[in-house]
A = this chain, B = another copy of it.
Amino acid sequence: MAVRLGALAERHGLELIGDGNVEIDGVCTLANGRAGAISFLANPQYRRYLASTAASAVIVSTADAEALATPGLVARDPYVAYARVASEFLPPADATGQVHPRAVVDEQASLGAGVTIAAGAVVAADARLADGVCIGPNTVIGRGVQIGSDTVVAANVTLEDGVTIGARCRLHPGVVVGSRGFGLAMDAGRWIEVPQLGSVVIGDDVEIGANTTIDRGAVEDTVIGHGVKIDNLVQIAHNVRIGDHTALAAKVGIAGSSTIGSYCMLGGAVGVAGHLEITDKVMITGMTLVTRSIREPGTYSSGWPVATSGEWRKQVARLRRLGKLEDRVKQLESGA
Residues of chain A touching chain B, judged by Cβ–Cβ distance below 8 Å, are: 26-29, 32, 39, 77, 79-80, 82-84, 86-87, 89-91, 100, 102, 104, 118-120, 122, 136-138, 140, 142-143, 154-158, 160-162, 170, 172-174, 176, 179-180, 182-187, 189-195, 197, 205, 207, 209-211, 213, 215, 219-220, 227, 229, 231-233, 235, 237, 245, 247, 249-251, 253, 255, 268-269, 271, 273, 284-292, 294, 298-309, 312-316, 318-323, 325-326, 328-329, 332-333, 335-336
Given contacts A184-B247, A273-B286, A302-B305, 7 further A-B contacts (CB under 8 A): A80-B187, A83-B185, A87-B195, A91-B162, A120-B122, A251-B271, A286-B289
Bound CA span A133–B221, Å: 29
A45 to B323, CA, bound (A): 36
Q: How many of these chains are in the complex? A: 3
**CB contact between A138 and one of B140, B179, B180, B332 (< 8 Å): that residue:** B140
Nearest Cβ on chain B to A71's Cβ, whole angstroms: 19
Considering the complex, give the chain B residue whose CB is closest to the CB of A318: B322
Are A292 and B316 in contact, CB atoms less than 8 angstroms apart?
Answer: no
Residues of chain B lying within 8 A (CB to CB) of residue A77: 185, 187
- Tell whether, in the assembled complex, residue B268 and residue A251 are in contact, meaning their CB atoms are under 8 Å apart: no
Q: Which residues does chain B contribute within 8 Å of A82, judged by CB atoms?
A: 185, 194
Chain B's closest residue to A187 (CB) is B80
Point out the residue from B140, B210, B232, B289 that lies within 8 Å of A136, measured CB to CB: B140
Report Cα–Cα, A24/B75, bound state, in Å.
61
Contact A120 B91 (CB under 8 A): no
Chain B hits for A100, CB < 8 A: 104
Q: How far is the CA of A104 from the CA of B303 in the complex (A)?
A: 48
Taking a contact as CB atoms under 8 Å apart, the answer to whether A289 and B304 are in contact is yes
CA distance A304 to B288 in the complex (A): 8
In contact, A315 and B319 (Cβ under 8 angstroms): yes
Question: How long is the Cα–Cα vector from A59 to B102 in the complex, in angstroms?
Answer: 49
A193: which B residues are within 8 A, CB to CB? 83, 87, 170, 207
Would A289 and B318 count as touching, CB distance under 8 A? no
Can you show 21 pairs from A to B with CB atoms below 8 A apart? A26-B197, A27-B219, A89-B197, A104-B137, A120-B120, A122-B137, A136-B140, A138-B138, A156-B174, A158-B173, A173-B179, A182-B231, A191-B205, A268-B271, A287-B289, A289-B306, A302-B306, A302-B312, A305-B316, A315-B320, A315-B322
